[in-house]
Amino acid sequence: MPPRTKACAICRKKRIKCDATLPQCLMCIRTGRQCPGPLDGPLIIDMSSTAGLGMKRKLKTKPIQNSFYQTPKELMMVLLPQMSQRAMITEAFYANFLTYFTSDGEGVDLQNRRTWLHQLPGLSSDGSNTALTLALQATASAFCGAETGNMSVVQDAWKLYGQALNTHARLLRSKPKEVTVHMVSTSVMLSIFEAMSATTADAYREHISGAAKMLEVTGPGQCLGGVLCQLFFHIRTQMAFVYLTTRKSQRISVRKILLETLSYEKQHIPTFQRLMSHIGVLAEIYVEKTSPASEQQLIDLAVYSGVKADVDALWLEYKEQAEVRGETVSWTTEDGKTKYRDGFTALAVAYFSTARVLFTILAPRLSVTFPDFTDYYGSILDCAAFLKTHRIGCAYMRMATPLYLVALHSPSLEQRRRAIRNFEEWRRGSMAGISALALQRIHESQDMAIPPGGVEDEDMGMGRYDIPAKVCPLDMFEFQDWVGQM
């Protein structure tokens, strides 16, 4: 816009040059006119006749309603056009799977200030580990493909999975002693992929075992405020399942990981981690010393009494910790259903029951000598039902070990059916891999096949499942070996 003129009104009207001399300009003096002087008020320009030609009305836009808790198909309709499908699937994966991978109450029982759930987005996008990024994308695609039945997404998941495996292997070969939380997270994420969509019988076991071995050489600086605490707990629950289903055990230095890598104080190791130490050793005995149907006595009275007393003391300690906070571990509603303080409490109760079940299996004669009238098989099923109704993701993976034992060893046909039914339902969903592995081992052990219609068919029979016995020499498990695992 040109600057405002200082010419007088007469000069401006006649369009002649004005020198703006005060009080009268020279042109007005020469022509003998009365000079009005320059204007000192505001200059208003009338453009009403032409303004409409250059102005357009601003269109109103509706705000985009975008929720991270929508299904992938709904997200596809509302996300911005420039957002790639892979990024959209990853976002849906965070919203629909990882939000219930972490149970309520886990931070209290494991003493982790941060969760893997909240750290994973940053770990996978900081540019330091391409393998983790690919593993996350592969697992996200596998999950969304299973949930929506989109085969093109599933095929993309397999391609990404192969790329992640190759990248992860190269990284481990180049830095075998420099293990980071990114590398451990990659192996855990690849194991979750196998839990969803199994590639081979041993792939799931290899990823879990690899993650456990990496934790042994991981330095304490990688813990990230307890992120590795949560990962190690998850790995331990899955190692127990691997022991039982593949009958291949692998010992790791639990004490070193707890005290050095995870920086737990010796006197303050969480109750659940100490319980998992007992369950890990019991699972090894279960696999290495006998077959499930053997009546041999696998642990003597001294070991049985000592370990059972430890588990009972841990249970009392767990309940006392809840009472100090004014909380109740579990209660029964008016309709007869069992409720729990939170998801992680239900999981803890299931694993305490698992320890008692293993005692009964490994020392049947001593279990009769020390009678316990609690139905621990039923307790495990109650925990699974609670986790299922609350849609807590750990029910798919971490409840696999307790339910596997119920399916094989419960004296009740109905309880065995309920346990198998859980695996059948999971196999039709996003946890097809781990469920198929469990069902395969269950029916191999029982020397029976799954009826086409599922576990509710009449072909299942009403008798007790007979598991073929395999005679193994009795090799007592020394108490010193037990202590070494703690």
- C-alpha to C-alpha distance for 415 and 227, rounded to whole angstroms: 36
For tokens 């004014």, the residue is 326
Show the domains of the chain with their CATH numbers.
Answer: 1-37 (4.10.240.10), 86-269 (no CATH), 287-466 (no CATH)
- C-alpha to C-alpha distance for 60 and 48, rounded to whole angstroms: 25
> What SS3 class is residue 217?
coil
Give the sign of the dihedral formed by CA 232, CA 237, CA 239, CA 242: negative
CA-based end-to-end distance of the chain: 83
Q: How many CB atoms are located within 10 Å of the residue 450 CB? A: 17
Q: What share of the chain is helix, strand, coil (3-state, %, to 5)?
A: 60, 0, 40
- C-alpha to C-alpha distance for 194 and 188, rounded to whole angstroms: 10
- C-alpha to C-alpha distance for 296 and 290, rounded to whole angstroms: 8
Q: At what angle do helices 181-196 and 203-216 cross, to 10 degrees?
A: 160
> What SS3 class is residue 341?
coil
pLDDT in tens for each of the 486 residues of the chain?
Answer: 556 667 888 788 887 878 777 777 877 877 777 787 776 655 555 556 555 555 556 566 555 444 444 445 544 544 444 456 777 777 777 666 665 555 555 555 555 555 676 677 778 777 778 999 999 888 888 888 877 888 888 899 999 999 999 999 999 998 877 888 889 989 999 998 988 887 776 788 889 888 988 888 887 777 766 678 778 888 888 888 888 888 776 777 788 888 877 777 776 788 888 898 899 888 888 876 655 555 555 677 888 888 889 999 999 999 998 999 899 999 999 988 899 988 888 889 999 999 999 988 888 777 767 777 889 999 999 999 998 877 665 566 789 999 999 999 999 999 999 999 999 988 887 778 888 888 988 888 765 434 443 444 333 333 333 323 332 222 333 433 443 344
DSSP 380-411: HHHHHHHHHHTT-THHHHTTHHHHHHHHHH-S
